[in-house]
Chain A
Amino acid sequence: MTLDTVHRAGQTPGERQPYTELGMKDDEYARVREILGRRPTSSELAIYSVMWSEHCSYKSSKVHLRQFSTKAPKSEALLVGMGENAGVVDIGDGWAATFKIESHNHPSYVEPHQGAATGVGGIVRDIMSMGARPIAVMDSLRFGAADAPDTRRVLPGAVEGISSYGNCLGLPNIGGEVAFDPCYIGNPLVNALCVGLLRKDQIKLATAPGPGNKVVLFGALTGPDGIGGASVLASATFEDESQAKRPSVQVGDPFMEKLLIECCLELFAADVVVGIQDLGAAGVSCATTELAAKGTGGMDVKLDLVPLRDPTLRPEEILMSESQERMMAVVTPEDIPAFTAICNKWDIPVTVIGEVTDTGRLVMTWHGETIVDIPPGTAADEGPVYERPYHEPTGQAALNAAGPDGLPRPTDLRATLLTLLGAPNVASKEWVTSQYDRYVRGNTVLAQPADAGVLRIDEVMDGATPTNRGIALATDGNGRYAKLDPYAGAQLALAEAYRNVAMSGAVPLAVTNCLNFGSPEDPEVMWQFAEATRGLADACRTLGVPVTGGNVSFYNQTGSAAIHPTPVVGVLGVLADVRRRVRHGFPEAGARVVLLGETHAEFGGSTWADVVHGHLGGLPPAADLAAERALAAVMAEAAERGYLSGAHDLSDGGLAVALAEACLASGVGCTVSLPGEDAFTDLFSESSARAVVAVKPEHFDDFADLCARREVPCYGLGVTGGDSLVVEETLEIPIEELRHTHQATLPGIFG
């Protein structure tokens, strides 16, 4: 077997290399040759092909994502912004939170259980690599039609994967979404969010400074996981020794990850880590090039020292392996014994594989022979950047013109509410969420089905200040709105997540996003992407919440049929005193039911149009960001002053669904009358920037004054109490009937 060394590459300039099979374009390959002044070795080709892939380089999205920085609002809370493993936000009292959402869409279609499980594992390691203790996860899931046969394969598998991995890690799952639409058949969206906690002065970064410092690989052994591409390379260049069938999806071991979490926290506490990076996509290639590029600039690695699960692996395969539960750290030589001792305590394999240099080169050897010699920045940061062409889709104007105005309005509003409440997108997601541990670690204040997950900040860390603070998190997205208008759709996704966080009484601070789209090579998809990023960046500026990081997932399409553009937005907020959080829905009888915000007849992309008429057309509701901001300010102040007993935002299905869900939260009914002229519009419109709150009767006047001061329209609708949802002169439904309708749907489909 021939080892493709740097020396050999110099002597065989004309050897054909399988760069096309590795997904590289002719000009990209030419550029690698130009950088190196020779053909790359097969190992170098492995590194450049993965690092310059869409997934790692963001080559199609970069020019648009820049707006998240250039348009970013000033934020004193932002400690670490975009470009690191995850953003970090100051949450007060010396504490910081780090959070990020990331997709694992394609693997979850191929192998739902492992795909979704390793999605959780990957995002958790991102959070760990910031120096934080992961404290909770959330999942935003989208599938094809609920009753489609393939959904019955993908959904239970993905949920079980998240359940088995996340539960075993000991991280509470405190919220997220489950949505269905035929456009996601064949392209489910599995977006996982993790939040971590650290002391403000403890942030770690992915950097390898200090020549002479050691490069340490620790965690699971490296095996042939997720390296389909490298196999292409091996088969084109080498004989067939390591050509066993490869799993194309990585397999996770949550037990190893749990040990890795505890081990990392001890390493951080012992202050024996100079720089750290998790191994995710592109494994060792990514970790070495990124650490070296951000550090002193050079690194020597003995690749044959990487501990292997499969001893037949070739260097190219080691470089591309996506084996899970691995981390890379930079450690001073003096600290190596202490570092190793902590790893040994947690039974974590640990190996020094190299050293930081000041040569400006990443050099890798294989049993003494040089197989990689590149400037690391060229792989990590200087990948190709594309200005992809884009234009408005043919048919977009027609889609926007075919609004919902002509759809027949219902005569029986009671039946309409029950129909919506039982529709898979609105129905209770308890079948899913009851498979997740929402209580572990003992700090869960609110979790599903609350609008936002809320956690108390109470972690044992050296030097930490005790605090009564809490954080709130929510994710939202609406592909139907974004299909009608990607600019507004992205803003509405942000607005809803922001509003959900505000419902708990928290002040929204920062944003993470997961941008799920079709192929960037399709100018119509690229237009959707350009519009959505522009909309999101503009809205972040208006709402004063910066984007701290996130992820782009392209190629969510089958043939030429792309998914609806689906920007999923996560918002993190902070509660100065978590004991003052606002509960979900109607927790007690005797409170005044108040509607906040203005209602217009807005049915484009609505749940009613979808469920009752199978209709998608027109324009989505207007995104009124000033109104969202005012609403959030009212909620924060009302929470602090203790005016509210509960709250619920208005979104899918409008006021009708919000009232029903608020009644179901604690089994407390209500009797209300409608403020407007048209009961149907009042009940089912999806105008944004609205909420229904339960105001303690003794604070009703104060609350009304507060709303007036903030210019938030408020309408007293009635009172909580009783065993039914009563809308005077319109409908009356016993809570038991609401509950049955709401809860029966998913078990009916998934067993």
Chain B
Amino acid sequence: MSGARVGVVTFPGTLDDQDAARAVRFAGGEAVPLWHADHDLKGVDAVFLPGGFSYGDYLRCGAISRFAPLMDELIPAARAGLPVLGTCNGFQILCEAHLLPGALTRNASLHYVCRDQRLRIENTTTPWTSDYSVGQEVVIPVKHGEGRYVADEATIAELEANDQVVIRYLGNPNGSINDIAGIRNREGNIVGLMPHPEHAVEELTGAPSTDGLGFFTSILKALVNA
């Protein structure tokens, strides 16, 4: 699997970039740091948009990052099929960039929540989820204040009809519509989710599970087989 290069983007205020890079390496890939201010994707095979508070979450989560120079390169590349995974703030950025539909709003509890979350995998056709099985239950941490997924009725209906919900909460932590924790685009190369798989890859650290590793092994297999 070596040789697959996964870009990990750092915006000002990105927090989980070193964790994401470590998870990529842990799964056998090469993590390539990408800087928000560069017009350069460095020829990577896939991109991981990690969590954090890019630009301090000012205006709206992800609203400023969406205009970063790097995004000028990433948005067309993603539309052309480059595999992209955004977690937490990365998911918010993907929604702000209209690469995925809907929006992430303040948790229904009005509190930030960090917990080991039970989830169910709903779709394994994406390059990020192929190592899971449909209906598989996993535990992966969530940690966010703005993770409540919302969209208009038609969009939700379309997501469900097209099997675009990738992962769902078992015990909804934030009030997301239909317990949606993560979605994909129609083509499946772009996935956004609120949970943090990079915090569930090792027995020693993070959540008491290694259930997040599948996102990383999936993409590396997809890239090697491509």
CB of A254 closer than 8 Å to a CB of B? yes
Segment of A42-50, A436-444, A718-726, A732-740 in the binding face: A436-444
The segment from A161-169, A236-244, A295-303, A636-644 found at the interface with B is A161-169
Check A579 for interface membership: any CB of B closer than 8 A: yes
Q: Would B205 and A436 count as touching, CB distance under 8 A?
A: no
Known: A163-B112, A164-B112, A167-B53. A440 touches B19 (CB 8 A): yes
Pair B56/A254 contact, Cβ less than 8 Å:
yes
Q: Which residues of B contact A169 (CB under 8 A)?
A: 15
Contacting chain A: which of B74-82, B159-167, B196-204?
A: B196-204
* In the complex, chain A residues whose CB is within 8 Å of the CB of B143: 167, 437, 439-440
Q: Are B16 and A435 in contact (CB under 8 A)?
A: no
- For the complex, is B139 an interface residue (Cβ under 8 Å from A)? no
Residues A445 and B204 in contact, CB atoms below 8 Å apart: yes
Q: A167 — which chain B residues lie within 8 A by C-beta?
A: 53, 112, 143, 145
Least Cβ–Cβ distance between A310 and chain B, in angstroms: 20
Q: Is A434 an interface residue (CB 8 A)?
A: yes
The answer to whether B114 touches A442, judged by C-beta atoms less than 8 angstroms apart, is: no
B15, B112, B114, B141: residue with the most chain A Cβ atoms closer than 10 Å: B114
Which residues of B sit under 8 angstroms from A435, Cβ to Cβ? 111-114
Docked CA distance A163–B57 (Å) = 14
A588 sits at the interface (CB 8 A): no
- Interface residue tally on A, bucketed by range: 20 to 34
In the bound complex, residues from chain A placing their C-beta under 8 Å from that of B52 are 170
Which of A440, A441, A444 is packed against the most chain B CB atoms within 10 Å? A440
B205 partner residues in chain A, CB cutoff 8 A = 442-445, 456
Q: In the assembly, what is the distance between CA of A254 and CA of B12, in Å?
A: 12
Q: For residues 197 through 220 of chain B, which have their beta carbon under 8 Å from a beta carbon of chain A?
A: 198-199, 204-207
Cα A168 to Cα B111 with chains together (Å): 14
A433 vs B56: C-alpha distance when bound (angstroms): 22
Kindly provide the distance from the CB of B17 to the nearest chain A CB, expressed in whole angstroms: 9
| Structural contact, A579 and B204, CB atoms closer than 8 A | yes
Q: Which residues of the partner chain B approach A433 to less than 8 Å between Cβ atoms?
A: 114
Residue B115 interfacial (CB < 8 Å) = yes
A442 engages B199 (CB within 8 Å)? yes
Q: Contact at B112–A255, with CB atoms within 8 Å? A: no
Kindly state the separation between the CA atoms of A346 and B35 in the bound complex, as whole angstroms.
Answer: 11
Inter-chain contacts of A256 with B (CB < 8 A): 56
B172: Cβ under 8 A from any A Cβ: no
Whether, in the assembled complex, A258 has its beta carbon less than 8 Å from a beta carbon of chain B, the answer is: yes
CA gap between A169 and B12 in the complex, in Å? 11
Residues of chain B within 8 A (CB-CB) of A258 are 12-13, 15, 53, 56
- A contact residues around B16 at 8 Å (CB): 170, 440, 442
Question: Binary interface profile of B, 102-120, with partner A (CB < 8 Å = 1, else 0)?
Answer: 0000000001111100000
List chain A residues, Cβ under 8 A from B206: 439, 442, 444
Q: B15–A170 contact, CB under 8 A? A: yes
Asked whether A578 lies within 8 Å of B204 as measured between CB atoms, the reply is yes
Per the bound structure, the CA–CA distance linking A345 and B134 in Å amounts to 45
How far, in angstroms, from A258 to B57 measured CA to CA in the complex?
13
Is the CB of A28 closer than 8 A to any CB of chain B?
Answer: no
- Contacting residue for B114 out of A160, A438, A445, A578, CB 8 A: A438
| Contact, CB under 8 Å: A441 / B204 | no
Kindly list chain A residues whose C-beta atoms are within 8 Å of the C-beta of B55: 255
A255 to chain B: closest residue by CB: B56
Inter-chain contacts of A440 with B (CB < 8 A): 15-16, 19, 143
- B91-148 at interface with A (beta carbon < 8 Å): 111-115, 141, 143, 145
Cβ-defined partner of B13 (8 Å) among A163, A255, A460: A255
Residue A728 interfacial (CB < 8 Å): no
A513–B55 Cα distance when bound, in Å, is 35
A705 at the interface (CB under 8 A from B): no
Chain B contact residues (Cβ within 8 angstroms of A): what range?
A: 20 to 34
Q: Tell me, yes or no, whether A259 is within 8 Å of chain B by CB.
A: yes
> In the complex, which of the residues B12, B58, B115, B196 has the most CB atoms of chain A within 10 Å of its own CB atom?
B12
Choose from A253, A436, A442 the contact partner of B18 (Cβ within 8 Å): A442
* C-alpha gap A258/B15 in the complex (Å): 9
Within A232-280, which residues are at the interface with B (CB < 8 Å)?
253-256, 258-259
Q: A444–B204 Cα gap in the complex (Å)?
A: 8
- Judged by a CB distance under 8 angstroms, whether A347 is at the interface is yes
Interface residues of A in 150-198 (CB under 8 A from B): 160, 163-164, 167-170
Q: What residue of chain B has the Cβ atom nearest to residue A433's Cβ?
A: B114
Which residues of A have CB within 8 Å of B207? 439
Q: Give the shortest distance, in Å, between A685 (CB) and chain B (any CB).
A: 32
By a CB distance below 8 angstroms, the chain B residues around A163 are 111-112
Contact A442 B19 (CB under 8 A): yes
List B contacts of A438 (CB < 8 A): 114
Q: Which of A346, A434, A444, A460 has the most CB of B within 10 A?
A: A434
Residues of B within 8 A of A253 (CB): 56
- Is B22 an interface position by the 8 A CB rule? yes
Q: For B15, what are the chain A residues with a Cβ–Cβ distance below 8 Å?
A: 169-170, 258, 440-441
Contacts of A445 in B (CB 8 A): 204-205
Is the Cβ of A434 less than 8 Å from the Cβ of B204? no
Interfacial chain B residues near A255, Cβ < 8 Å: 12-13, 53, 55-58
Complexed CA–CA distance, A256 and B23 (Å): 27
Residues of A within 8 A of B111 (CB): 160, 163, 434-435
Contact B18 A439 (CB under 8 A): no
A473 and B121 alpha carbons, distance in the complex (Å) = 36
Nearest chain A CB to B200's CB is how many angstroms away?
Answer: 9
Residues of A near B145 (CB, < 8 A) are 164, 167
Contact partner of A434 (CB less than 8 A), chosen from B18, B19, B114, is B114
Max chain A CB contacts within 10 Å: which of B18, B22, B207? B18
- For the complex formed, measure the closest distance between the CB of B163 and the CB atoms of chain A, giving whole angstroms: 30
Q: Is A346's CB under 8 angstroms from B12's CB?
A: yes
- Shortest distance in angstroms between B111's beta carbon and chain A's nearest beta carbon? 6
Residues from chain B with a CB closer than 8 A to the CB of A456 are 204-205
- Of B22, B23, B56, B114, which one neighbours A439 at CB under 8 angstroms? B114
Interface residues of A in 407-450 (CB under 8 A from B): 433-445
Residue from B22, B56, B58, B141 having most chain A Cβ neighbours under 10 A: B56
Question: Distance (Å) between the CB of B173 and the closest chain A CB?
Answer: 9
Given contacts A254-B56, A255-B56, A258-B13, contact A436 B22 (CB under 8 A): no
Instruction: Specify which chain B residues have a CB less than 8 angstroms from the CB of A444 in the assembled complex.
Output: 205-206
Distance of A164 Cα from B206 Cα, bound (Å) = 20
Query: Per-position contact with B for A480-518: 1 when CB-CB < 8 Å, else 0?
Result: 000000000000000000000000000000000000000
Q: Give 9 new A-B contacts, CB below 8 A, not counting A439-B143, A439-B206.
A: A168-B13, A170-B16, A170-B52, A253-B56, A254-B56, A441-B18, A441-B19, A442-B198, A443-B205
5 A–B contacts, CB within 8 A, in A order: A435-B113, A437-B112, A439-B207, A442-B22, A444-B205
User: Which B residues have a C-beta under 8 Å from some C-beta of A?
Assistant: 12-13, 15-16, 18-19, 22-23, 52-53, 55-58, 111-115, 141, 143, 145, 196, 198-199, 204-207
The 8 closest A-B CB pairs, nearest first, are A255-B56, A170-B15, A442-B19, A439-B199, A168-B53, A437-B143, A435-B112, A163-B112
